[in-house]
Amino acid sequence: MEFDENKEEEKYSEDDYVDIYSKRAIFWFSFFNLIFGGVLLVINLYNAGYRKAVPVVLAFVLFFSYLSYFVIMHSGVDLQQVVDAMNVTAKGGQPTAAQVTAMLSVAGLNIGFGLIGALILSQFFFRRYFPDNDYYPKPVGLPILIFIILMILTRIL
């Protein structure tokens, strides 16, 4: 093995790297809850020094969340049937075919909007501000715990 003394090795200081949540974490959190994934991306942007991008991402998250809510509410699906199906199922009964169809329609719309929002946050915004892999991924244990606690609290209240 030969060493080339004329060639300088690129040295990176600790300041060149920043700890942020990975693109995969942003995608999956956004898929299940766009606002939560958007908050993680905003934390990334803030920690990396892209403070001017924070309002843009927040505006997108709020607009897209409202758009998905608006489309689902005005999709023509009878949401009362969804509520009735959930009540019947909770009591151990069988929902009717119309109730099942309504539930599947709402679930399909939720999955579709979740996927589109997650792809936009992870593939457009994340790649725009973090095109290289010059970051250390933060562990996602604490965000997962917070997400679970918030989901439980919203179901109880």
> In angstroms, rounded to a whole number, what is the distance separating the alpha carbons of residues 129 and 121?
11
Is residue 11 situated within a structural domain? no
Q: Is residue 7 part of a domain?
A: no
Residue 38 burial (10 A CB sphere; 0-12, 13-18, 19+): buried
Contact 29, 38 (CB under 8 A): no
Q: How many domains does the chain have?
A: 1
Domain that holds residue 57: 20-156
Any domain includes 13? no
Q: Would you state the pLDDT for residue 135? A: 78
What is this structure's pTM? 0.79
Is residue 3, in this structure, part of any structural domain at all?
A: no
Q: At 18, phi and psi to the nearest 5?
A: -135, 140
Residue 145 lies inside a defined structural domain of this protein: yes
- Looking up tokens 């995608």, which residue turns up? 27
Distance of alpha carbon 71 from alpha carbon 75, whole angstroms = 6
3-state secondary structure of 5: coil
Q: Is residue 34 part of a domain?
A: yes
State the pLDDT at residue 6: 53
Asked whether 118 and 31 are in contact (CB, 8 A), the reply is: yes
Per-residue pLDDT of the chain (157 residues; tens, 9 = 90+): 555 555 544 444 555 677 899 999 999 999 999 999 999 999 999 988 899 999 999 999 999 999 999 999 998 888 888 888 888 888 888 988 888 899 899 999 999 999 999 999 999 999 999 888 777 888 999 999 999 999 899 888 7
In a domain? residue 5: no
**Structural domain contains residue 86:** yes
- Cα 123 from Cα 117, distance rounded (Å): 10
